[in-house]
Structure 1
Amino acid sequence: MKNSILPIVVLILSIAPGFAQNKNYQSEHISVDFTSSNLPIVVINTNGQEIPDDYKIMADMGIIYNGEGVRNYITDPFNHYNGKIGIELRGSSSQQFPKKQYGVETRDSLGNDFSFPLLGLPSETDWVFFAPYNDKSLIRDALSYRLSREMNRYASRSKFFELVLNGEYMGVYVLFEKIKRDANRVNIKKLNPADTSGDAVTGGYILKIDKLDGEGNDGWYSNFLPFPQSNKQIFWQYHYPKPEDIVQLQKNYIRSFILAFESAMHGPYFADTLLGYPKYIDANSFADFILLNELVKNIDSYRLSTFFYKDRDSRNPKMFAGPVWDFNLAFGNANYYEAYLTNGWVLEYVSDFSNMPDWENFYIPFWWKKLFDENRFRNIIYDRWQQLRSTVWTNQNIINLIDSLVSHLEESRERNFQRWPVIGQWIWPNYFVGQTYQEEIDYLKNWLVGRLDWLDQNMVGGPSSVNDEHFPEEFFLAQNFPNPFNPVTTIKFVIPNEVRNLITLKVYDLLGNEVATLVNEEKSAGVYEVEFNAGKLSSGIYFYKLMTGKYSATKKMILLR
């Protein structure tokens, strides 16, 4: 593709102050003088095609990038990238805005994926061209991801650029890494379709709780309601492997893992070190996820754009929270769910059913609040907060990050707001409307300082005790894991203190016929784990029953060959 850009005439949108969801903007023609930039210049030509929102079309892309600190001219040759891409619209509520964001794949001339280090980021094929619009600071997402990386948690790297699309100047964009399994992104084991048993089937996986936007979504509904009063369920989505790539035995495994975790969280021993959340999740990653989202008060967190990943058991058997994603409504930029207040916990607000309006379709899984209220976990949060506040999350360090981003955009933002004149206009769902860009930045900084102060004064937990474990005081029969299984599964049960009785654990078929006796002896108090090998049984539903003189419990399991 030759760089034959002509003087750019652009569409400028006049923004109605009373914007509501699903309202269409009207446009008028205004020209922007765009000849050069201190940012990279990305030029896309769709060759007359409209960009759809449910599949990618082939297009041409050229990038002018002369290096950091070197000016880029629209008349320069495409010296960084000059080739094919796949491009589609992306986003959900953001698609209402006239400044669109895009999902982009770098491709070769035959349309195959082509890994490339766009704008100096680690080489990959899948990218997000993010379009800040209702975030008039332009930096909320990039800043949030940087704060996550300061915690030594992976979050998307970023690069600002200016975009020309089909001869029209489109303003300031941000290149983000799409959340993917990759050595430089979510570094978990690659899962092939043949990995269906043993250690191989245990990872890696990326899951998400989010809206059903985009193409090819699939997943399953949780067995547990977000609230007892709710008629809406939590939908877990497969992110990696993609829905079209993940095979049934892999689906069975990861669904069984999540069911075991949620069953443990729903039970009386959810905090037990052997039976509860410490068995299933990396608590430190969940604490970091909470602290980042609470620092910026992201009202979508926990229930939208929420990712989890699990590596192969031999590398790490626990599930991690993250990477974090989507922060354009953070830092006091929304006028609902008390997002504008510097006080209060998002997690507690959205965990209160009375706070959720009838129109809300996306609820928080029940176990977030239960986890947040647990003493040992609260101490993890407390310790981590103190560490962060004394190192990378000091007021001055965060303000310096903001200032560096603002300085980087000093020139380009003027053109952006000429193209999209939103300064001084209310754009859904702004709480604050500054009359200048500087007022928007001052609001962000002041809000953040107030938020840091409130968190300092109201941080949960306290210094971790040397030993805060406890031993169960009641009988308990856990759900077998994995479930469904083929042909081996594990059953755990608890015998409480000061009890010594004859314990039986037996397996029955659907007709009530006994097919196996796993335990038949006296046992003292403790946590026990029994392996059941159903190698000689046929596929189907079975029941296992734990009995003592004073207690009995039965649970269902599925043998699926």
Structure 2
Amino acid sequence: MQTRLLVFLLLVSPLLAFGQVFTSSDLPIVVIDTRGGVIQDDPKILADLSIIDNGAGKRNKLTDKASFTSVMGIEYRGATSQQFFPKKPYGIELRDSSGVNSVAKSVLGMPAESDWVLNATYNDKTLIRETLTYDFYRKMSKYYASRFRYCELVVNGEYRGIYIVMERLKRDKNRVPITSIKKTDITGDAVTGGYILKIDKTVGSTSRTWKSPYPSGTRNINLDIQIDRPKPEDLAEEQFQYIKKYVTDFEASLAGPDFADPTKGFRAFVDEQSFIDYLILTEVCKNVDGYRLSAYFYKERDSKGGKITMGPIWDYNLTYGNADYCEGNSYAGWAFNFSRVCPKDDFAIPFWWDRLLQDLDFARKVKEKYKALRKTVLTPERLGSFVDSTATVLTEARQRNFAKWPVIGTYVWPNGFVGRTYEAETDFLKRWIDQRLTWMDINIEPFGILTALREEPNFTLGPNPSVGDVTLKLPLPAPTDVTVSLTDMQGRPVQSHHWPAQPEGLFERTLPATDFSTGPGVYILTIKTQSGHTSKVIVRE
């Protein structure tokens, strides 16, 4: 195969990359020859792979000897990106010389495995949102995130632009670190793991799926829960029934009255820290698809921990303001509110996240970790430095990429911002991060409390957030005294009102703007009657 690849390289060199002669790069060069075959969605077709990578700081030429070669299977991957974008993402499987058996190999210095992804990063014109997110997550969390390397790609003699070589999500000691369950593992500890599951679109998926019995979103949708691994042909019926019951039992515990109990509640089923980290990441980048699409979780065997772990993280091109629907371009607002912002969307946020945030201890842990991260790896300076350094690395290659794919200054669905230059795109990304973190710093204080109190069916308060007067309404089932008190987030009193002997019926009062005497910020409003008390958060802008 080495001779065939060298001949192929000579034939394609030099390549005309839309007005530029492509002969060399300061990035690794990936060359694919499909042997005359046509790449399709499924199944994979046989091809030859060659990578030219002479090492850090050295130039890579198409005529150089390949540092890596392999027979492989290749197919298109992705849903929207494959259907609608001309720059296609690919899934590849390294194989032995027969082209039949998969073989694990190290690619571009990453741990050996057989399955890899070539991410096209087409509608993110910075080319950075995916790698920024994986890099940040690897710094903030102990849980796995895909490794990556940038490259320039040539397919059958055609220059295809900048791609990101990434690890595909798989069970492996260097990837998702859980047991690769065999089809014969149907009893005892063996049947309890490991499984990779996801909440995602089912179109084109070959996964076995069941409907959650617990409705989610404003439309009460019973979401599809898919088993990503094992594949359907490798999944025994006993395994399907086991993991379906385990996840359903978790949902039942979360939906039940004792959901916050440390032994009987959701913590008996899940790795709590993984959910905290996943939530923080999703909110920092405000992933418009967060929680509801490409939302992976996994379970190891009971003997090795055995709880549901949220992740691994995946698919971050529509983040940091790069989506013009459902408030995806705004730096304000919580991503977990997606189903309330876009109630008609078919892909709802699982009820899990609202319910978790009704446990104020869970919400407190989210806030504490967020605040700790803000002092270390989660600063506009650190994230901006990654953007700038990566943009510098891509300086030469992106000129060819955008000559091939002239998207700068052009709307590509669903861009939330269209810059006239590449620099405008990266400037927007950095500015958005700064604004997002500033917004989160203010609004993280009532985080969870807003959700915990959202279930109160009678007490209404509005407008909220507000800048002027605020009207409160509370049905009174019997005559009672009513006391309303305002405190700040530290519990310090701000204002109070007392109305004795209020009649049965609708109690309605307007709190003047002057009651909120400490200015913009977060207040807790508490109403006390003879039957008890209830509270809500007011955000003043």
Please state how far the C-alpha of 1:5 moved relative to its aligned partner.
3.5
Structure 2 residue aligned with 1:85: 72
2:43 aligned with 1:55? yes
Residue deviations 1:184-226, cap 9 Å, x none? Answer: 0011122112221111111111101111244522221111121
Please state how far the C-alpha of 1:266 moved relative to its aligned partner.
1.6
Assess if the C-alpha contact under 8 Å between 1:219 and 1:236 holds in 2. Answer: yes
Please state how far the C-alpha of 1:372 moved relative to its aligned partner.
2.1
Of 55, 64, 77, 1:76 maps to: 64
2:440 aligned with 1:455? yes
Residue deviations 1:258-317, cap 9 Å, x none? Answer: 110111112111111122111111111101001001100101011100000111111113
Structure 2 residue aligned with 1:266: 255
Please show how residues 212-251 of structure 1 align to structure 2 within 5 Å. 212-214=202-204, 216-227=206-217, 229-230=219-220, 232-251=221-240
Assess if the C-alpha contact under 8 Å between 1:378 and 1:461 holds in 2. Answer: no
2:169 aligned with 1:179? yes
Of 91, 103, 121, 2:91 maps to: 103
Assess if the C-alpha contact under 8 Å between 1:378 and 1:460 holds in 2. Answer: no
Structure 2 residue aligned with 1:329: 318
Give the number of aligned pairs.
Answer: 439
Distance 1:450 1:373 in 2: 27
Structure 2 residue aligned with 1:500: none
2:139 aligned with 1:133? no
Structure 1 residue aligned with 2:476: none
Assess if the C-alpha contact under 8 Å between 1:58 and 1:87 holds in 2. Answer: yes
Question: What is the TM-score with the length of structure 1 in the denominator?
Answer: 0.76
Q: Partner letter of residue 254 of structure 1?
A: I
Q: Partner letter of residue 92 of structure 1?
A: A
Comparing both structures, which one devotes a greater share of its residues to helix? 2
Assess if the C-alpha contact under 8 Å between 2:95 and 2:103 holds in 1. Answer: yes
Distance 2:306 2:68 in 1: 40
Assess if the C-alpha contact under 8 Å between 1:207 and 1:308 holds in 2. Answer: yes
Structure 2 residue aligned with 1:482: none
Residue deviations 1:485-527, cap 9 Å, x none? Answer: xxxxxxxxxxxxxxxxxxxxxxxxxxxxxxxxxxxxxxxxxxx
Structure 1 residue aligned with 2:10: 4
Structure 2 residue aligned with 1:446: 431
Residue deviations 1:210-246, cap 9 Å, x none? Answer: 112445222211111214643x421111112122211
Structure 2 residue aligned with 1:518: none
Distance 1:461 1:278 in 2: 23
Distance 1:69 1:435 in 2: 31
Higher relative contact order (CA 8 A, sep 6+): 1
Distance 1:429 1:105 in 2: 30
SS at match of 1:453: helix
Q: Partner letter of residue 251 of structure 2?
A: E
Q: Partner letter of residue 61 of structure 1?
A: L
Assess if the C-alpha contact under 8 Å between 1:54 and 1:214 holds in 2. Answer: no
Please show how residues 508-523 of structure 1 align to structure 2 within 5 Å. none
Structure 2 residue aligned with 1:121: 110
Structure 2 residue aligned with 1:154: 144
Question: What is the TM-score with the length of structure 2 in the denominator?
Answer: 0.79
Of 201, 217, 221, 1:211 maps to: 201
Assess if the C-alpha contact under 8 Å between 2:120 and 2:162 holds in 1. Answer: yes
Gaps of 5+ in 2: 449-541
Structure 2 residue aligned with 1:388: 373
Assess if the C-alpha contact under 8 Å between 2:218 and 2:343 holds in 1. Answer: no
Of 408, 421, 425, 1:423 maps to: 408
Assess if the C-alpha contact under 8 Å between 2:380 and 2:430 holds in 1. Answer: no
Structure 1 residue aligned with 2:55: 67
Of 245, 253, 262, 1:256 maps to: 245
Please state how far the C-alpha of 1:40 moved relative to its aligned partner.
0.4
Structure 2 residue aligned with 1:34: 22
SS at match of 1:423: coil
The share of aligned pairs that are identical, in percent, is 46
Note the aligned Cα RMSD (angstroms): 1.6
Distance 1:184 1:166 in 2: 32
2:148 aligned with 1:142? no
Please state how far the C-alpha of 1:48 moved relative to its aligned partner.
1.8
Distance 2:446 2:243 in 1: 32
Assess if the C-alpha contact under 8 Å between 1:91 and 1:213 holds in 2. Answer: no
